[in-house]
Amino acid sequence: MTDSVVQGTCSPLFAQLKSEFEKNFAARGEVGASVCAIVDGDIVVDLYGGTLDTAPASAWQRNTITRVFSCTKGAVAFCLHLLADRGALDFNADVRKYWPEFQKHYQQTIPVWMLLNHQAGLPALRSPVTKNDLFDSATLASRLSTESLFWEPGTSLAYHALTFGVLANELVHRVTGLSVGEFFRREIAAPLDLDFWIGLPASEDRRVAKTLFPAASTPQKTLAADSIAALTKANLGAFLGSLDERETRAAEIPAGGGFGNARSLAAMYAPLSMEGSHAGRQFISPDAVARMAQTTAATGKDQTLGIPTAFSLGFAKSWGVGRMPPGCGYAIGSRAFGHPGMGGSIGFADPSARLAFAYTMNQMNSSPSLDERAQSLIDAAYNALGFSHRNTGAWTGPAR
């Protein structure tokens, strides 16, 4: 594609990022996408381009939004940390303090924090999950409350692809009486004026870019039917088969049902990149931001994704870059935290750089993590800010 297809604004300092964004369209199979970087609370990159689907006439507009899959988990984690910061939720308390029915036959304590860093032992449901089930979080939560644990909580790690959202939503509901989508809209999206939705109103449908699945790749090895990876894939089948249906878009699916663009996703992380403050308002305490950045669980091979993963409480850290083939990990700053989304999107905050960053797109990849499209943009942002290298798997550089 030509330069004219990429629109928006970009500070001269980030010229290389713009060049990489253009290269995504020209050489990396990009169809439609947006990228945004906010430094010290100011937007320094706000670019978009391409098309809503494969039709050339359907140009991606400034206000185009798309499903961002598990980037939604970052929004949900923000909600939980906000409740903890206000004293309404204790991460160290037994989950049953708020949800008495949860695993009531398990004799030991299951602290709230284990539900947030994918160590709870409930990465999947063993029985089928239908489309109707996906729209009924209370029923899924009830099922998880009696599901046999896959391991003793705290002793292993597997990405809770669907169940993280169900568990988090139930906690928010038990504490506030609201769904996580309602709480997010009231306490985060509205005050920050975010164009980000967990449960998309019909009025916004016209702006949504169609989700484009990757082309069929080489056959994957067969998974054991009772493996965590296979069960997770089965749990998500009804969701992935109905992505562009109105009912699915409207559903509050906190693990992967969020809609937005890079501008809105980066804006969500802006206060978290500046010790909780933005536009003259303290959204959350510096201590809470420090907790968000602290790695609490990591593994060399995630039982769900099959790659190295690392998490703080509800957020993802850098995953495996330098230890895995390209496209099977990603690198952000050593103090950064956020969340990638299936297919290749990401949003994160890096307090050491006072950077909030996001990339969203409609052409999904087939890897379990980011690919060169996102990583090239992230690398360009860190280079522009004077960071030195990511040889250890995370960007390191001077603190700002």
State in Å, rounded, how far the first CA of the chain is from the last one.
36
329 Cβ partners below 8 Å, 6+ apart? 307, 308, 318, 319, 320, 321, 322, 323, 369, 370, 393
Among 4, 19, 70, 242, the one annotated catalytic: 70
Q: Give me the phi and psi of 261, to 5 degrees please.
A: -130, 180
355-361/345-350 β-pairing: antiparallel
Contacts of 235 (CB under 8 A, 6+ apart): 124, 125, 129, 161, 162, 163
Whether 312 is a known active-site residue: answer no
Please state the three-class secondary structure of 114-150 as a single string. Answer: HHHCCCCCCCCCCCCCCHHHHCCHHHHHHHHHHCCCC
Say which amino acid occupies 89. Answer: L
CA distance 249 to 136: 14
Q: Which two tokens stand for residue 91?
A: 């991460």
**Neighbouring-strand partners of residue 337:** 349
Lookup result for tokens 């993963």: 309
Residue 212, strand partner residues: 363
| Dist. CA 313–CA 291, nearest whole Å | 7
DSSP-derived 3-state class of residue 33: strand
Helix 15-27, helix 372-384: angle, nearest 10: 170
C-alpha–C-alpha distance, residues 261 and 325, integer Å: 28
Catalytic residue numbers?
70
